[in-house]
Structure 1
């Protein structure tokens, strides 16, 4: 239940007024809230909130129960903080921003900005030291009067110095799913769509409009070109520059990333069966590693596997084939190059 903390009375709000409230407001631990038009005395609540006297919290901000706001933090007029949120010293919530329950902002973290649009963050998220989440995008087509949006799910660990930007236009939004581990100094640009349970190692950089499915793992210093798609359970090697799609279950590496086989380690860890992995390996070899010089073109080999009765009965193989096909649809970038074998 959202409750509105009245930090100061009157129409004026300033840093000096926030400092003056200590004796009359905090020492008594009696706070006034507004909920559905009624005033509630929180001296009887089991989880009182704490706001440090040096923090600047706008009187119109909505603060849940058990919130802790540390020294030198700021919370804007349109912000909503769910119950149990913790703002460490020097963290800030700006603009139309909503934090779900039990979110933590480490020192120096900045969430939201004052531009039109909003940032909505789910529950149980950790925003790391000096991370910048939900600010305006770095896109020349963006117009300051346009609304822009960021939606973040639940249980994400977003580490230090990471930047995640809002969308570039009203008709789109940047979306982060649930349970992602986004390590230090990563960048997720405007209009990206990130699924669930992904791991982005340090300095992973995603350009605008990139789509990442589920359980994708990038190694350090990976760069992904605009509009690329990364399929579920794929792995991107360290230092890779990915300029085309990575189909499901595959592994790529290289300064201009090439397919390097299946992500067998990842598939095993995620509980894929021996039958599924065997089917994927057979299908991959038939499509990408055919040593027969008379085997036909890539399209012919792909069509042959699609008609292979035994292989297409394996759901994982069907998913991989569909992922490859989708990469060649209109407005898609095709798949990363694969090594051409020497038949001599």
Structure 2
């Protein structure tokens, strides 16, 4: 490259770098100059969030920047929507749920997505997109980048491992992982965190507790109410 061409290239880089800096600064100042964060019923809605006026927002809700809440969405009390998460379509989010960055709940197609109470939806998880009548129970934990198939039911206190593709129902108390997701055993850590004693955990494993009846009922209802069945147990001989 000649000296003249190199000089022109350097000048162009400086020019466009300056323009980019100016544009970025203007955008940041424009964001700062927007209306103050909206507060209604004790809830916080970041000014950069898009919340439809017809959406039902509970008390004590926190909605971060660049979130989307659609007109048919219902967000329960004390929910937290982290930056860039989306609740769209006919989606109901129970109380105390945490939706982490980039997660998508629901879709603008027929059918409902129902998320129970005190659930954690991990980063970039997709729940209910292109689904009909998907149901989450309470106290479930969905790790990051999980995809849940249409019509699935996710039982209470269950755990969906990161990156799983869940194509069948997940029974209560269970842990699943993989593509396609397979049962890996009890969600022991989740049970401990939610106040289950060691004795209760052993009783669940040994089928001597009322909790087991709930788990069995959860499995039975998967076959009564739908046609997908439950996730298969992982073969102990597989890696």
Which stretches in structure 1 are left out of the alignment for 5+ residues? 1-18, 27-49, 52-62, 137-143, 225-229, 237-250, 252-262, 281-313
* Alignment CA distance shift 1:122-1:202 (3 Å): same
8 A Cα contact 2:170 2:176, kept in partner? no
Q: Provide the aligned length of Structure 1 versus Structure 2.
A: 197
Which stretches in structure 2 are left out of the alignment for 5+ residues? 1-31, 192-196
* Correspondence for 2:148 among 167, 188, 201: 188
Task: For residue 85 of structure 1, report the CA deviation from its aligned partner.
Answer: 0.8
* Alignment CA distance shift 1:102-1:195 (3 Å): same
Question: 1:1-344 residue pairs with structure 2 within 5 A?
Answer: 22=35, 50-51=37-38, 64-113=40-89, 118-136=90-108, 147-165=110-128, 168=131, 173-207=133-167, 210-219=168-177, 221-224=178-181, 235-236=183-184, 251=185, 269=198, 271-273=200-202, 277=206
Aligned to 1:102, the other structure's residue is in SS state coil
8 A Cα contact 1:151 1:176, kept in partner? yes
Aligned to 1:271, the other structure's residue is in SS state helix
* Alignment CA distance shift 1:202-1:338 (3 Å): closer
Distance in 1 of aligned mates of 2:151 and 2:165? 14
Distance in 2 of aligned mates of 1:99 and 1:328? 29
User: Over residues 93-119 of structure 1, what are the superposed CA-to-partner deviations in whole Å (9 max), with x where a residue is unaligned?
Assistant: 013001011111111001114xxxx11
RMSD: 4.1
* Alignment CA distance shift 1:201-1:333 (3 Å): closer
User: Over residues 186-205 of structure 1, what are the superposed CA-to-partner deviations in whole Å (9 max), with x where a residue is unaligned?
Assistant: 11121111111111121111
* Alignment CA distance shift 1:333-1:188 (3 Å): closer
- Of Structure 1 and Structure 2, the greater helix share is in 2
Task: For residue 338 of structure 1, report the CA deviation from its aligned partner.
Answer: 7.0
Task: For residue 70 of structure 1, report the CA deviation from its aligned partner.
Answer: 1.1
For 1:299, the equivalent position in structure 2 comes to none
TM-score using structure 2 length: 0.65
Distance in 2 of aligned mates of 1:175 and 1:198? 13
User: Over residues 263-298 of structure 1, what are the superposed CA-to-partner deviations in whole Å (9 max), with x where a residue is unaligned?
Assistant: 697899562457973xx6xxxxxxxxxxxxxxxxxx
TM-score using structure 1 length: 0.47
Task: For residue 328 of structure 1, report the CA deviation from its aligned partner.
Answer: 9.8
Distance in 1 of aligned mates of 2:77 and 2:155? 21
Aligned to 1:148, the other structure's residue is in SS state coil
Distance in 1 of aligned mates of 2:135 and 2:219? 24
Higher RCO (CA-CA < 8 Å; seq separation 6+): 2
8 A Cα contact 2:106 2:128, kept in partner? yes
User: Over residues 130-164 of structure 1, what are the superposed CA-to-partner deviations in whole Å (9 max), with x where a residue is unaligned?
Assistant: 1011115xxxxxxx5xx311111111111110000
8 A Cα contact 2:141 2:157, kept in partner? yes
Distance in 2 of aligned mates of 1:275 and 1:85? 35
Is the radius of gyration larger for structure 1 or structure 2?
1
